[in-house]
Amino acid sequence: MKRVVITGMGAITPLGNNVATFWNNLVAGTSGAATITRFDASRFRTKFACELKGYDPATALDKAEIRKTDPFTQYALSAAAEAISDAGLNFSAMDPFDTGVIWGSGQGGMQTFEEQVTEYVTGDYNPRFSPYFVPRLITNMASGMISIKYGLMGINYTTVSACATSNTAIMDALNYIRLGKAKVMITGGSEAPITPASVGGFCAMKAMSVRNDDPTAASRPFDTDRDGFVMGEGAAALVLEEYEHAKARGAHIYAEVAGAAMTADAYHMTATHPEGLGALQAMKSALQEAELAPQQVDYLNAHATSTPVGDLSEIAAITRLFGATPDHLHISATKSMTGHLLGAAGAIEAIACIKSITDGIIPPTINTTTLDPAIPAGLQIVLKTAIEKEVKVAVSNTFGFGGHNGIVVFRKI
């Protein structure tokens, strides 16, 4: 099959509204968490999140696009604009059917849904729904709007697999290029979940941290005192391109997408398999597809959301595949800084993996002071500060409600 490489990246995150700022803050160990400003969260168990800072959709969108779209689509368009510019693509010189968009979002237009339904319930009895209600709400609109903006007429759809969504989108984009059904794919994910219903729903599940007195220290993956995840928002975009096509146009190549795989836990609606069986098989399959041995992996960006059950099930899978004392492998959990971007998590963590390869730096896991005693002492989890290390192979883990496991492997080229 054809080889696939990354030639462009874009990011809108709680740590910065472009790739450079995001990466610099990630390496510096900066937390994006703070008290929620989007709405009054005083009545909720959790009152903080990792919100975007200083984001202005007008930097990438015109007034009509902003009026017609939910924030999750706005984030997608902004991240895609940076990625496409970064890749130096000239779509006017390409067959429009050669480029597609496969995007991901777990919740879609949650803000639009809440606002419109609230207006209907609390207002008069005239059902004054906006004509843009449905287009703003539906989850596939991000991929649709990216294609409309740039005239991309190839494969186009949106994936949904909860918090594994972005890796699902990346995997699908990879496979379509490998099979010769596209030359370029814009892929990634976006999420705008910091809304009353979304925060309230996760609070009701007791899934989120309640460390309201110290939000910046709330996300503490693998720590004995972890008490749940911190919600985040934003988007990340990748330009995936067929290798020979990228070489022919003289594109800058960041890394290769070497393999990807998905499995299902078939175990529980929200809990991961306690032995990590689905995660284990997904990692095995992704590495086998990449024709790599576990001993060749230098960096693993863990899903590690800072939940009591989820972190340990992932560790169980990691130790069964890599061993309890892998001297070649370093692990970090960047959600400790970005928060959990749900359906956009895999995309932003893909950029962290790619940058670790290009820059030779592994970002840290912040806030973790005392490792859970159930975690083998021989695992090299990068804590507090980033480390310098040559990274030739990086693995990104994502897992989602419903038992979805999505793994992507990146390789230096």
Q: pLDDT (tens digit, 9 = 90+) per residue, 346-388?
A: 999 999 999 999 999 999 999 999 999 999 999 999 999 999 9
Q: How far apart are CA 120 and CA 135, in angstroms?
A: 18
Half-sphere CA count of 143, side-chain side, radius 13 A:
26
What band does 125 get if pLDDT is binned at 50, 70 and 90?
low
Q: pLDDT (tens digit, 9 = 90+) per residue, 52-94?
A: 999 999 999 999 999 999 999 999 999 999 999 999 999 999 9
112 in Cβ contact with 70 (< 8 Å): yes
| Nearest C-alpha neighbor of 276 from the set 217, 226, 321 | 321
The answer to whether residue 132 scores a pLDDT higher than 80 is: yes
Helix (H) or strand (E) holding 397: strand 393-400
State whether residue 14 is helix, strand or coil. Answer: coil
List the catalytic residue out of 50, 163, 203, 353. 163
Q: Which two tokens stand for residue 94?
A: 């390409």
Phi, psi dihedral angles at 353 (to 5 degrees): -65, -45
> Sheet harboring 184-191: ordered strands across?
156-159, 99-104, 184-191, 234-242, 4-12, 255-264, 404-411, 393-400, 299-301, 330-332, 380-381
Expressed in percent and rounded to 5, the helix, strand and coil fractions of the chain are: 40, 20, 40
Q: pLDDT (tens digit, 9 = 90+) per residue, 280-295?
A: 999 999 999 999 999 9
Q: pLDDT (tens digit, 9 = 90+) per residue, 198-245?
A: 999 999 999 999 999 999 999 999 999 999 999 999 999 999 999 999
pTM of the model: 0.97
Hey, what domains does the chain have and what are their CATH numbers?
A: 4-248 (3.40.47.10), 259-411 (3.40.47.10)
What is the average pLDDT across 177-183?
Answer: 98
The strand ranges marked E within 192-254 are 234-242
What is the average pLDDT across 119-143?
Answer: 89
* Residue 347 pLDDT: 98
Q: Which two tokens stand for residue 227?
A: 């008490």
* Residue 8 pLDDT: 98
* Residue 128 pLDDT: 79
* Residue 122 pLDDT: 86
What band does 147 get if pLDDT is binned at 50, 70 and 90?
very high
Q: How far apart are CA 342 and CA 264, in angstroms?
A: 17
- The mean pLDDT value of the chain amounts to 97
* Residue 256 pLDDT: 98
* Residue 123 pLDDT: 79
Q: Is 163 a catalytic residue?
A: yes
Q: How far apart are CA 200 and CA 206, in angstroms?
A: 10
Q: How far are the Cα atoms of 8, 150, 380, 409 from residue 99, in angstroms, in the given order? A: 14, 10, 40, 22
Match 């975007």 to its residue by tokens: 52
> First-to-last CA distance in the chain?
17
The answer to whether residue 172 scores a pLDDT higher than 70 is: yes
Helix (H) or strand (E) holding 245: helix 243-248
* Residue 216 pLDDT: 98
